[in-house]
């Protein structure tokens, strides 16, 4: 799990460095999503561990989950999605896994911290466990797991980053369970 976090953090830094020019269209005035007290579960957000867990099934489920998480943001606030998905090879200390990294540039009128908090709240309502949440240097960062068994659960690092003027960003880094 530590190797997954480190690899996802490195990939996030590389992709984030290239985002400064990744906006398109004029920003629209759109209200920010806000967390609410009562959030209904969304069955599309529940991870489904396949009976035959292979690189192909890990990829399919990881991409399905990433798309379901993306769909939580209203389309009219999304300006750009930078997406990287790949099979991460095994090392001597850890197995391979499928990872998805997405940086979603949203309208600058939308607070990305509130957007990330709203997404996290919806995930928790849908069965995900929030492992940790922190606010550091203006960035909201949440670690979540799709279940309690590390061998069958997806791991998600979700963040809302308002630090670059006029480029509000919500990022997700999703990792499948290790492949056999």
C-alpha Rg value of the chain to the nearest Å:
16
The SS3 assignment for 23 reads coil
Report pTM.
0.79
40-69 per-position pLDDT tens digit: 889 999 999 999 999 999 999 999 999 999
Residue 99: which CATH number?
A: 3.40.1000
In a domain, 91, yes or no: yes
132-148 per-position pLDDT tens digit: 999 999 999 999 999 99
CA distance 172 to 11: 11
In a domain, 26, yes or no: no
How many folded domains does the chain comprise? 1
Strand ranges in the chain using DSSP code E only, listed in sequence order: 78-88, 97-106, 129-136, 139-145, 155-161, 168-175
Range(s) of the domain holding residue 139: 2-18+43-175
- Give residues with Cβ within 8 angstroms of 52, minimum separation 6: none
In a domain, 120, yes or no: yes
């Amino acid at each position: 799990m530590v190797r997954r976090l480190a690899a996802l953090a490195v990939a996030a830094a590389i992709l984030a460095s290239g985002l400064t020019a990744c906006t398109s269209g004029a920003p629209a005035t759109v209200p920010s999503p806000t967390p609410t007290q009562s959030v209904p579960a969304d069955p599309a957000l529940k991870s489904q561990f396949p009976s035959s867990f292979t690189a192909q099934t890990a990829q399919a489920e990881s991409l399905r989950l990433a798309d379901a998480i993306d769909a939580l943001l209203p389309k009219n606030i999304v300006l750009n999605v930078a997406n990287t998905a790949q099979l991460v090879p095994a090392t001597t200390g850890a197995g391979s896994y499928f990872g998805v990294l997405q940086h979603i540039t949203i309208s600058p009128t939308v607070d990305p911290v509130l957007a990330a908090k709203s997404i996290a709240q919806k995930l928790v309502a849908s069965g995900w466990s929030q492992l940790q949440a922190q606010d550091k240097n203006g960035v909201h960062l949440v670690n979540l797991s799709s279940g309690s068994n590390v061998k069958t659960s997806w791991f998600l690092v979700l963040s809302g980053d308002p630090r670059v003027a006029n480029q509000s960003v919500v990022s997700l880094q999703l990792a499948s369970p290790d492949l056999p």
